[in-house]
């Protein structure tokens, strides 16, 4: 088996995927029809043609608009199950999945509807295929911290069903420190916290996410490499970075895959994990990211093994589960 085939067939964890970003045009049209929504795109092809982004905001505008087709528990369940069915084809056995409740509650969809639906889809995948999932609630950083607090309050009756909290949406101009108090509250509740930082924003936002929000992982963090002291710190502390290569190219963080900072991050000893971010919008799922990275950088089996180990190592699961999964990666990648 060549290196790529071995990498593709290895058991994997995905730690950075937005469930709203897994909404394929086919499902969006089907849900629009089911919910009697006048969807502002003429056809599936027309919608796909709109997936031509110049930066993060140009993507987010379409991503939030498309989320309008998600209305009922069944919609969220179908969305979750479709993602997990597709992720399973890439041998994903564990997924930590972001969701953006503010995108839905602002449209009058109850928080409980979103949570019940996502859990129902995940329960089917667990029962049918033994897939393991975690839900991470993301606060939208373009909104005020008061809105994040209101979202957290609405979550309290269901707090045991949310595994962690994150921070996403428009990065520039919305530094992590804007959410210092609400993240402190999440940590007081005993939850793990993560934050998107250093995707489009400067390395200083990664430092803030670590020092002010006290995150366990950095989402993206691809601009860390611009700051030598930060790079050294991330390497020393082995802070996991959930890198999403196709996303970074589609959102013009890098001109093309060969310009991506991944090789420099690996060379610096950073704990990199590979992920798909918003696979329906960015040209592919985890396997597609692996193919694109391999085409650009021709990584060896040892590096792939390290990348897959990093994901399980950084997962929010107990040590026993982690050890079992790590042994499966080792057995697959080092036969």
Question: Which residues have a catalytic role annotated?
Answer: 199
**Looking at beta carbons only, is 169 or 231 nearer to ligand ADE?**
169
| Cβ closest to Zn ion, residue 208 vs residue 277 | 277
Radius of gyration of the chain (CA): 19
Among 243, 277, 314, 329, binds Zn ion (CB under 5 A): 277
Report which of 20, 40, 201 is spatially closest to residue 117, judged by C-alpha positions: 20
The single residue listed with the structure tokens 């041998």 is 91
**Among residues 10, 13, 17, 21, the one that binds ligand ADE under rule CB under 6 A:** 21
Classify residue 257 by its DSSP letter. Answer: G
Our finding on whether 20 is near Zn ion (CB under 5 A) is: no
Other Cβ atoms within 10 Å of 55 Cβ, number: 13
**Spatial contact of 125 and 43, defined as CB atoms under 8 Å apart:** no
Residues 239-268, interacting with ligand ADE (CB under 6 A): 247
Q: Pairing state of beta strands 217-220 and 240-243?
A: parallel
Residue 211's contacts (CB-CB under 8 Å, 6 or more residues apart) are: none
- Strand pairing report for 164-168 and 132-140: parallel
Minimal distance in Å, beta carbon 88 to Zn ion?
21
Instruction: Rank residues 98 and 304 by Cβ distance to ligand ADE and give the closer one.
Output: 98
Question: Does 14 participate in binding Zn ion (rule CB under 5 A)?
Answer: no
Tokens of 166: 């994150």
Q: Which is nearer to Zn ion, 59 or 325 (CB)?
A: 59
Which DSSP letter does residue 255 get? S
Q: Sign of torsion, CA 247 252 256 259?
A: negative
Q: Which residues pair with 134 in a beta bridge?
A: 96
Given Zn ion, ligand ADE, none, residue 205, with its beta carbon under 5 to 8 Å by kind, binds: none
Residue 24 as a binder of ligand ADE (CB under 6 A): the answer is no
Q: Please, which residue, 90 or 100, has the CB nearer to ligand ADE? A: 100
What's phi and psi for 271, nearest 5 deg? -85, 85
Does 18 participate in binding ligand ADE (rule CB under 6 A)?
yes
- Output the smallest distance, CB 164 to Zn ion, in A: 14
* Partner touching 169 among ligand ADE, Zn ion, none, CB below 5 to 8 Å by kind: ligand ADE
Footprint (CB under 6 A) of ligand ADE, residues 265-324: 277-278
The token pair that represents 103 in the structure block? 């995108």
Site residues (CB under 6 A) for ligand ADE, limited to 140-199: 168-169, 196, 199
- DSSP codes of every residue in 180-224: HHHHHHHHHTT-EEEEEESSSS-HHHHHHHHHTS--SEEEE-TTG
We find the least distance from the C-beta atom of residue 56 to ligand ADE, in angstroms, to be 6
Using CB under 6 A as the binding rule, whether residue 102 contacts ligand ADE is answered as: no
Binding to ligand ADE in span 189-208, by CB under 6 A: 196, 199
Nearer to Zn ion, 142 or 328 (CB): 142
Contacts of 128 (CB under 8 A, 6+ apart): none
* Residues that bind ligand ADE in the complex, under the rule CB under 6 A: 18, 21, 56, 63, 168-169, 196, 199, 247, 277-278
* Residues that bind Zn ion in the complex, under the rule CB under 5 A: 277
């Amino acid at each position: 088996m060549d290196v790529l085939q071995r990498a593709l067939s290895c058991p994997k964890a995905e730690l950075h995927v937005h469930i709203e970003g897994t909404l394929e045009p086919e499902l969006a049209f089907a849900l629009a029809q089911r919910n009697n929504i006048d969807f502002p795109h003429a056809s599936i092809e027309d919608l796909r043609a709109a997936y031509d982004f110049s930066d993060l905001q140009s993507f987010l505008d379409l991503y939030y608009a498309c989320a309008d087709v998600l209305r009922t528990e069944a919609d969220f369940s179908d969305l979750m199950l479709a993602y997990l069915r597709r992720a399973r084809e890439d041998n994903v056995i564990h997924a930590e999945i972001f969701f953006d409740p503010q995108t839905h509650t602002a449209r009058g969809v109850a928080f409980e509807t979103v949570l019940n639906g996502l859990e129902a889809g995940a329960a089917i995948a667990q029962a049918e295929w033994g897939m393991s999932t975690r839900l991470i609630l993301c606060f939208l950083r373009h909104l005020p911290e008061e809105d994040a607090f209101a979202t957290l309050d609405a979550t309290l009756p269901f707090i045991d069903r949310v595994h962690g909290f994150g921070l996403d949406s428009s990065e520039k101009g919305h530094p992590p420190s804007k959410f210092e108090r609400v993240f402190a509250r999440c940590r007081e509740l005993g939850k793990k916290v993560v934050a998107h930082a250093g995707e489009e924003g400067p390395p200083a936002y990664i430092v803030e996410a670590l020092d002010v929000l006290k995150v366990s992982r950095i989402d993206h963090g691809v601009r860390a490499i611009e700051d030598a002291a930060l790079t050294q710190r991330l390497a020393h502390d082995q802070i996991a970075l959930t890198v999403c290569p196709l996303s970074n190219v589609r959102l013009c963080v890098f001109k093309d895959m060969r310009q991506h900072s991944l090789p420099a991050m690996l060379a610096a000893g950073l704990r990199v994990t590979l992920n798909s971010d918003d696979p329906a919008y960015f040209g592919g799922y985890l396997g597609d990211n692996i193919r694109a990275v391999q085409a650009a950088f021709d990584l060896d089996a040892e590096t792939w093994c390290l990348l897959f180990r990093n994901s399980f190592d950084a997962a929010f699961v107990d040590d026993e589960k982690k050890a079992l999964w790590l042994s499966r990666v080792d057995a697959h990648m080092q036969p």
